[in-house]
Amino acid sequence: MDFIGAYSQEHLAFLWDGFLVTLYVAFISIILSFFFGLIAGTLRYAKVPVLSQLIAVLVETIRNLPLLLIIFFTFFALPEIGIKLEITAAAITALTIFESAMLSEIIRSGLKSIDKGQIEAARSSGLSYTQTLFFIVMPQALRRMVPPIVSQFISLLKDTSLAVVIALPELIHNAQIINGQSADGSYFFPIFLLAALMYFAVNYSLSLAARRLEVRQT
């Protein structure tokens, strides 16, 4: 183990670059998958004819495939039908497809958890179905969904490391290159320890933030 060699200024700067790529890819994917997941989950909850069934088939298919396969698919198979994505775009697309499906299920079950009595009360006081959904059900459901959604975001951030197979220059990728600088592998432990701490710091802050949100609601 060579902590001094592994933690040279150049290595730390290089590892930090990788960390920023991880955060960037995770951040964009979180925004996109929350958006698509919200739409898909709500449509499925509202039982819109045809559209709901179509989304159900899509979501069930994606949810039951490994993310690694979806990453390979976006990078290698899409160019064959004329969609050519750069490494970062391919990684974001794959993560968004997968996590949207996961989030849509969280959102659907959150909406379903709201008591039927409330919907009946809202409808009988003159609100339309759409108004009931957006002003009565959704706000309460979203609050309940905070913990599972945040834990899904945490797995998304960790899952960005899978994109190392298509050479996305993220945290693990850069850690591997730094590890390769020493012939005898003496940087392995120090550099991967640091990478682990970086993942932990972000993810733990996320779950602390989620816990605070929960406390405030009750």
CB 59 within 8 A of CB 104: yes
Residue 134: DSSP 8-state: I
Which residue lies nearer to other proteins by CB, 108 or 173?
173
> Which of residues 34 and 187 has its CB atom nearest to other proteins in the complex?
187
Nearest residue (CB) to other proteins, 57 versus 77: 77
- What is the Cα–Cα distance from 139 to 166, expressed in whole angstroms? 39
Residue 76 or 134 with smaller CB distance to other proteins: 76
User: Which parts of the chain fold into alpha helices (H)?
Assistant: 3-6, 9-45, 51-63, 67-72, 87-112, 116-124, 129-131, 138-159, 171-180, 188-217
**Cβ of residue 111: shortest distance to other proteins, in angstroms?**
40
Q: Cβ 159 to other proteins, closest distance in Å?
A: 17
The nearest distance, CB 170 to other proteins, in angstroms, is 13
Helix 87-112, helix 138-159: angle, nearest 10: 150
Task: For the CB of residue 155, give the shortest distance to other proteins in the complex, in Å.
Answer: 21
Alpha-carbon span 96 to 26, nearest angstrom: 9
Whole-number minimum distance, CB 92 to other proteins, in Å?
A: 17
CB of 163 to other proteins, least distance (A): 11
Q: Among 113, 167, 146, which residue's Cα sits nearest to residue 34?
A: 146
Distance CA 6, CA 191 (A): 6
What Å distances lie between residue 56 and 11, 43, 48, 99, CA to CA? 46, 10, 11, 15
153 vs 188, beta carbon nearer other proteins: 188
Of the pair 136, 164, the CB lying nearest other proteins is at 164
The two structure tokens encoding residue 22? 């991880």
Residues at the contact surface with other proteins, assessed by CB under 8 A? 10-11, 13-14, 72, 75-76, 79, 84, 165-167, 174, 176-185, 187-189
